[in-house]
Amino acid sequence: MSGGPYRSIVQVQESLFTLLKGAPKPYFKVGDSGNRRELSFCADCGSHVYATSVVDDVPKGERMLGIRTGLLAEVAQLPPQSQVWAQSKVPWAENISELPSLDKQS
């Protein structure tokens, strides 16, 4: 989904989430668990907004949204709390803090 080794989300109850502008375009898939998933994207630029259960599979108002943190102004205030799908992580992903870095792309 991200095309890379990391994807960061924050979970929130659907009833507590308000999209400030536009309407997401959904895409539906079946996960490895067999559960149906709704993946919602910005209809204009294609950015992934959130993933959740299909509305028909859970009572209304009880869905949890996995909001992509790259969309949030508060992303720096949301440090990781856990890891999922660790069985498929790349071996070099443990610590990259000592690599040379640039403040921005030149």
Read off the pLDDT of residues 3-55 as tens digits, 9 standing for 90 and up.
Answer: 677 788 999 998 899 888 899 999 999 988 888 999 999 999 998 999 998 88
pLDDT at residue 2, rounded to an integer? 60
Q: Are 12 and 66 in contact (CB under 8 A)?
A: no
Residues sharing a CB contact under 8 Å with residue 101, sequence separation 6 or more, in sequence order: none
What residue spans define the domains of the chain?
Answer: 9-93
Nearest to 55 by CA among 68, 41, 37, 34: 37
Find tokens 């069985």 and name the residue: 87
pLDDT at residue 88, rounded to an integer? 82
Q: Are 41 and 48 in contact (CB under 8 A)?
A: yes
| First-to-last C-alpha distance (Å) of the chain | 27
Query: pTM of this prediction?
Result: 0.77
Nearest to 49 by CA among 78, 20, 88, 90: 20
pLDDT digits (tens, 9 = 90+) for 49-60: 999 988 888 876
